[in-house]
C-alpha cells in the first residue's frame, strides 16, 4: 500500500508539472494599454514618419529608467533657424531638439516632457542604469540623475583616422546592463575611431582605431563583430570576439552568423542564414561565448520569426518577440511589415526551457521591444507609426 501511495504521489506531481508547463505555454497576453507618442509629444512638432515630407529617418529611442518609468525620445528640427552661438547661449546654435516623454507604466501618467538641444539628429538616450541615464546630443554626452537633473558632461573628441579626415557622428552601442557604451565614428570598411565608455563615471576606459565591417554586440567586457564579406561571392566569415581594444578572434561555430546580440553574461543570441561547413545549421541560436556551446531555438508556429531580443538589465529575464510577415508581394517589390504574434520568455538562471506567451490584440507594426529592469513590464514601439504598447508580464521564476 505504501508503494502504491508513493507511485500515486509521483504521478500526481508529474501531472501537475506537465499541467503547469502546458498552461504557461498556452498563456495569452494583451496590451494593458497603448499610447500614440505623437499625442504625448505634440503631433504638430513631430515629423510624419515614412512620408515624402521627411527627408531623413527620425531617431527614436526607448529606455526604461527604472521599473516604473519609461522614457521615449524623438529628434526634431529646431523651431527657429540656428545662429552663431554667443557666450552662455550655446543652445541657439543647435539645429535639433531631443524631445522626450517620461511615462509611468503603471498609471499611464506623463511625468515629464523635457527637451534638450543637439548639434546632430543622431541623438537620444544611449544607456540607463540604477544611477540615472546618459543622453547623447551630437558630440556631447550628459549623465542625468534619476530625478532628471544633469550631473556630468563630456565632450566627445574630434576623430581623425588614418585618412586624416575628421569623421562625423558617433554611433552608440550599449551593453545589456547599460554600464558600458561603445561609440564608433567613421564609415564602414574604413579605419574608424572607437571609444569604450564607462557610463556610471562618464569616462573613457579605452580608445583605439579599427575597421568596422558589420554589426556589433556589446557586453560589459566583450565585443562581438559580424564581419561582412567585401566582395560578392567571397566565403562567409565567422563571428569575431574581443576584449575592448584587443585583438579579434574567430568563433568557428558561428560561420555565416548574423545579427549578434548579448542577452546575458557570456550569452550570445544570433542567426545563421545559410548552410555552411560550420558546426551549426541555418536557424536561430543561443551560445555560451566562454565554451561555444550553441543551442538552436524553435518557433512555436510555422511562418513566425524571432526578432531582436529585449533584455532586463538586472539579468532577471530576456525575451524574444515572435513576429509574422504580412503584406508582402515579391512580384510587386513590396517587402511588407512584421506584426507581433508572441513572446519567447527566458527567466534566470536560463537553465529551464523558455515558455511562450501568445499576444492578442496588438496593433504594432515592425515592433521593437524593451524590458523593465525587473522584467515585469514590456514596452513595444512600432514603426513608422510611433505607437507604443505596454504589457504586464508574469513574475520571473
Whether 251 and 292 have beta carbons less than 8 Å apart is answered as yes
Render pLDDT for 69-82 as a digit per residue (tens, 0 to 9).
999 998 887 776 55
- Residue 38 CA, chain-centre distance (Å), reads 22
The answer to whether residue 5 scores a pLDDT higher than 80 is no
| Direct distance between the N- and C-terminal alpha carbons of the chain, in angstroms, rounded to an integer | 36
Mean pLDDT, residues 286-304: 87
Higher pLDDT, 42 or 170: 170
Render pLDDT for 152-202 as a digit per residue (tens, 0 to 9).
999 998 876 555 555 568 999 999 999 999 999 887 778 889 999 999 999
Render pLDDT for 102-118 as a digit per residue (tens, 0 to 9).
999 999 999 999 999 99
Cell numbers found for residue 133: 541615464
* φ, ψ at 302 (rounded to 5°): -65, 140
The answer to whether residue 232 scores a pLDDT higher than 90 is no
Percent of the chain surpassing pLDDT 90? 52
Distance from C-alpha of 203 to C-alpha of 153, rounded to nearest angstrom: 10
Render pLDDT for 346-360 as a digit per residue (tens, 0 to 9).
999 887 789 999 999
Cell numbers found for residue 117: 538641444
Whether 311 and 289 have beta carbons less than 8 Å apart is answered as no
Q: State the DSSP H helix or E strand holding residue 9, giving kind and residue range, or none if neither.
A: helix 2-25
Whether 318 and 312 have beta carbons less than 8 Å apart is answered as yes
Render pLDDT for 370-394 as a digit per residue (tens, 0 to 9).
999 999 999 999 987 888 999 999 9
Instruction: Report cis status (omega within 30 of 0) of the bond before 293.
Output: no
Distance from C-alpha of 69 to C-alpha of 75, rounded to nearest angstrom: 20
The closest of 319, 314, 375 to 179, measured between CA atoms, is 314
- What are the residue boundaries of the structural domains of the chain, listed by start? 36-80+94-156, 170-297, 303-397
Percent of the chain surpassing pLDDT 70? 79
Whether 250 and 235 have beta carbons less than 8 Å apart is answered as no
What's the pLDDT at 110? Answer: 93
What's the pLDDT at 93? Answer: 67
Whether 213 and 227 have beta carbons less than 8 Å apart is answered as yes
What's the pLDDT at 42? Answer: 65
Mean pLDDT, residues 141-151: 95
What's the pLDDT at 144? Answer: 96
Identify the burial level of 359 via C-beta atoms within 10 angstroms of its C-beta, where 0-12 means exposed, 13-18 middle and 19 or more buried. buried
Q: State the DSSP H helix or E strand holding residue 8, giving kind and residue range, or none if neither.
A: helix 2-25
Distance from C-alpha of 13 to C-alpha of 11, rounded to nearest angstrom: 5
What's the pLDDT at 299? Answer: 84
Mean pLDDT, residues 43-67: 66
Neighbours of 364 (CB within 10 A): 24
Whether 182 and 216 have beta carbons less than 8 Å apart is answered as yes
Distance from C-alpha of 359 to C-alpha of 322, rounded to nearest angstrom: 9
Cell numbers found for residue 130: 540604477
Please state which of the ranges 126-130, 327-331, 371-375 shows the lowest mean pLDDT: 327-331
The answer to whether residue 228 scores a pLDDT higher than 50 is yes
Q: State the DSSP H helix or E strand holding residue 127, giving kind and residue range, or none if neither.
A: strand 123-129
Residues 6 or more apart in contact with residue 51 via CB below 8 angstroms: none
What's the pLDDT at 21? Answer: 38
Rounded alpha-carbon distances, angstroms, from residue 188 to 120, 230, 301, 391: 20, 10, 37, 37
Distance from C-alpha of 376 to C-alpha of 378, rounded to nearest angstrom: 7
Amino acid at each position: 500500500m505504501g508503494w502504491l501511495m508513493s507511485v500515486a504521489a509521483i504521478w500526481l506531481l508529474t501531472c501537475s508539472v506537465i499541467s503547469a508547463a502546458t498552461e504557461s505555454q498556452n498563456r495569452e497576453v494583451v496590451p494593458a494599454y497603448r499610447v500614440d507618442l505623437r499625442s504625448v509629444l505634440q503631433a504638430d512638432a513631430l515629423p510624419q514618419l515614412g512620408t515624402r515630407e521627411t527627408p531623413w529617418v527620425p531617431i527614436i529611442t526607448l529606455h526604461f529608467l527604472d521599473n516604473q518609468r519609461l522614457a521615449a525620445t524623438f529628434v526634431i528640427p529646431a523651431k527657429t533657424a540656428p545662429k552663431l552661438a554667443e557666450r552662455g547661449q550655446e543652445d541657439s546654435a543647435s539645429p535639433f531638439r531631443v524631445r522626450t516623454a517620461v511615462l509611468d507604466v503603471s498609471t499611464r501618467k506623463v511625468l515629464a516632457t523635457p527637451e534638450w538641444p543637439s548639434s546632430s539628429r543622431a541623438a537620444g538616450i544611449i544607456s540607463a542604469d540604477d544611477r540615472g541615464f546618459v543622453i547623447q546630443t551630437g558630440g556631447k554626452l550628459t549623465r542625468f540623475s534619476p530625478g532628471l537633473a544633469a550631473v556630468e558632461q563630456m565632450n566627445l573628441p574630434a576623430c581623425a583616422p588614418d585618412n586624416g579626415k575628421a569623421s562625423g557622428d558617433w554611433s552608440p552601442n550599449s551593453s545589456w546592463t547599460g554600464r558600458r557604451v561603445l561609440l564608433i565614428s567613421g564609415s564602414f570598411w574604413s579605419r574608424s575611431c572607437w571609444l569604450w565608455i564607462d557610463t556610471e563615471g562618464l569616462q573613457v576606459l579605452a580608445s583605439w582605431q579599427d575597421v568596422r565591417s558589420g554589426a556589433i554586440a556589446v557586453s560589459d567586457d566583450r565585443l562581438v563583430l559580424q564581419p561582412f564579406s567585401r566582395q560578392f561571392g567571397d566565403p562567409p566569415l565567422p563571428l569575431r570576439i574581443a576584449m575592448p581594444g584587443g585583438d579579434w578572434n574567430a568563433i568557428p561555430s558561428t560561420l555565416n552568423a548574423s545579427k549578434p546580440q548579448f542577452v546575458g553574461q557570456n550569452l550570445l543570441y544570433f542567426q545563421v542564414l545559410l548552410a555552411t561547413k560550420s558546426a551549426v545549421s541555418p536557424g536561430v541560436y543561443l551560445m555560451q561565448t566562454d565554451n561555444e556551446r550553441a543551442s538552436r531555438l524553435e518557433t512555436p508556429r510555422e511562418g513566425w520569426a524571432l526578432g531582436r531580443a529585449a533584455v532586463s538589465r538586472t539579468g532577471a529575464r530576456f525575451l524574444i518577440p515572435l513576429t509574422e510577415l504580412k503584406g508582402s508581394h515579391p512580384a510587386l517589390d513590396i517587402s511588407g511589415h512584421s506584426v507581433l504574434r508572441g513572446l519567447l520568455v527566458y527567466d534566470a538562471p536560463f537553465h529551464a526551457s523558455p515558455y511562450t506567451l501568445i499576444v492578442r490584440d496588438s496593433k504594432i507594426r515592425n515592433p521593437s521591444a524593451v524590458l523593465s529592469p525587473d522584467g515585469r513590464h514590456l514596452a513595444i514601439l512600432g514603426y513608422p507609426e510611433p505607437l507604443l504598447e505596454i504589457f504586464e508580464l508574469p513574475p520571473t521564476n
